[in-house]
Amino acid sequence: MEFFIDTGDIEEIKEASKWGIVDGVTTNPSLIAKTGRSQHDVIHDIVKLIDGPISAEVLSTDKDGMLKEAASLSEIHPNVVIKLPLTIDGLAACKELSEKKIKTNVTLCFSVNQALIAAKAGATYISPFIGRLDDVGHDGMGLIEEIRTVYDNYGYQTKILAASIRHATHVRDAAIVGSDVGTMPYKVLKSLYGHPLTEKGLDQFLKDAGLQ
Ligand code: E4P
């Protein structure tokens, strides 16, 4: 399973990149807005820190505008993945970009049918938002599982990118149901290391070795 960090915070990316488990980065307009900087500047910095897919989202809602933004974002670095909303225009843009071999991440997916049409449009990644589905009483992880089944039924190569991950249990469950990627905030990524028995066991080993 690949791990992406879901942030625009350069300090978080710098720190997490040292751990050796971060394969890529996702951003969205809300995360970029939190930085107080332009998307171009933030993405310029991120590509220097992580050698992997970096999702940058378009703000246009019409296909031509999306394609224009995609061209400008793609110029930043070959690792930039164009993030497009799951709309008619978004998927039409996705189709054109996929024909040009430009990588795409189709975002704001909340149903199996949406994931199916994104795969048909040639999306590189589909981002089902599990936390936001759970928030409204739906089954976010169930959606990942269903998309896995449908993609496997037809051999679609679109990667399932479990998004809107809120806690470590989401990561565990997404891995169990076969999500290709999980994107998560810095604090969730860090929480994956923790287990009280690891800390307790290490304390004991250090004591027994006379080091504590
Ligand atoms: C993913 O690409 C999105 O940026 C993100 O996971 C959304 O998460 P949220 O629902 O916590 O805002």
Domains in the chain, please, with CATH? 2-208 (3.20.20.70)
Mean of the pLDDT values across residues 35-64?
98
- Ligand 1 atom nearest the C-alpha of 135 is 10
Q: How far is the CA of 127 from the centre of ligand 1 (A)?
A: 9
pLDDT in tens, 136-184: 999 999 999 999 999 999 999 999 999 999 999 999 999 999 999 999 9
Q: Is the CB of residue 127 below 6 angstroms from any atom belonging to ligand 1?
A: yes
pLDDT at residue 40 in the model: 98
Out of 2, 9, 28, 54, mutate this one to test ligand 1's pocket (max ligand atoms within 8 Å of CB): namely 28
The structure tokens 């751990």 sit at 19
pLDDT in tens, 103-149: 999 999 999 999 999 999 999 999 999 999 999 999 999 999 999 99
Catalytic residues: 83
Picking from 54, 59, 52, the residue whose alpha carbon sits closest to that of residue 42 is: 54
